[in-house]
Amino acid sequence: SQTIHQWPATLVQPVGSPLSLECTVEGTSNPNLYWYRQAAGRGLQLLFYSVGIGQISSEVPQNLSASRPQDRQFILSSKKLLLSDSGFYLCARLGQGGTEAFFGQGTRLTVV
Amino acid sequence: AQSVTQLDSHVSVSEGTPVLLRCNYSSSYSPSLFWYVQHPNKGLQLLLKYTSAATLVKGINGFEAEFKKSETSFHLTKPSAHMSDAAEYFCVVSDQTGSQGNLIFGKGTKLSVKP
């Protein structure tokens, strides 16, 4: 089966602290992976996507970065969190020509 | 470019009455369309998906959606709402125009169910 593990589920961090959210994928190789964010009262926005190891594309300028150190690992990071980084972060992949979508459980980040 | 519009940010119904959550999309070709539900503090759960097979798609928990190409719509319906249906619902289109593919999300519709 194709499973996405994402952790932690919830996180409360002070402003200025670093961030690392991890996403790992099972059951497939060389997946296209995505990080989305849902800010309060808004829809899900694509932040980054990766088509392979070391290949990261950013959709919006921001305080965050992403890395793909291994084929099935996708990491979202920040050196210094801002209040505006609060939100619900979701790791995802597409499968089978875009007819399937798989999601992690999400991380609810609150920056205080 | 692909886009998804959920026409209502908030829908409120009484328990036992029908549910209609509206979604329109724009696409240059026949897309894959999904409806996901997000309960408070939970991840996304797939309700149903359309992938160019039958235009009337049945999903979990009594939900269904009809793909209408002429109207570029994919509205989500349920004959009778339950209290447990209260959640946020996302209409999603799969964009395969780029090499990497993408999921385009609507802004979500929050469904409230009154007793």
Is A74 at the interface with chain B, CB within 8 A? no
**Please, what sign has the CA dihedral across residues A45, A51, A53, A57?**
negative
Fold for domain B3-99+109-114? Immunoglobulin-like (2.60.40)
Chain A residues whose CB is inside 8 A of the B96 CB are: 97-98
- CA of B33: which chain A residue's CA is closest? A99
Q: Is the pLDDT of residue A87 over 70?
A: yes
Q: State the nearest Cα–Cα gap between B21 and chain A, in angstroms.
A: 15
- CA of B41: which chain A residue's CA is closest? A108
Strand spans (E) along chain A: 3-7, 10-13, 19-26, 33-38, 44-52, 55-58, 65-70, 73-78, 87-95, 100-103, 107-111
Q: What is the pLDDT of residues B69-92, one digit of tens each?
A: 899 999 999 999 999 999 999 999
Of the residues A36, A38, A57, A88, the best mutation for testing chain B's interface (the one with the most B CB atoms within 10 Å of its CB) is A38
N-terminal to C-terminal alpha carbon distance within chain B: 41
Ordered by start, the domain boundaries in chain A are 3-111
Question: Is B101 within 8 Å of A98 when comparing Cβ atoms?
Answer: yes
Chain A residues whose CB is inside 8 A of the B53 CB are: none
Question: Is B43 within 8 Å of A43 when comparing Cβ atoms?
Answer: no
Is A42 at the interface with chain B, CB within 8 A? yes
Q: What is the pLDDT of residues B8-67, one digit of tens each?
A: 999 999 999 999 999 999 877 778 899 999 888 777 889 999 987 788 999 999 999 999
Question: Can you give the pLDDT at residue A1?
Answer: 53
Q: What is the pLDDT of residues A34-67, one digit of tens each?
A: 999 987 767 788 899 898 999 998 877 678 999 9
Phi, psi of A68 (to 5 degrees): -130, 80
Q: What is the pLDDT of residues B88-109, one digit of tens each?
A: 999 998 876 655 567 888 889 9
Question: Is B102 within 8 Å of A43 when comparing Cβ atoms?
Answer: no
Of A97, A99, A103, the CB nearest to B44: A103
Fold for domain A3-111? Immunoglobulin-like (2.60.40)
Is A106 at the interface with chain B, CB within 8 A? yes
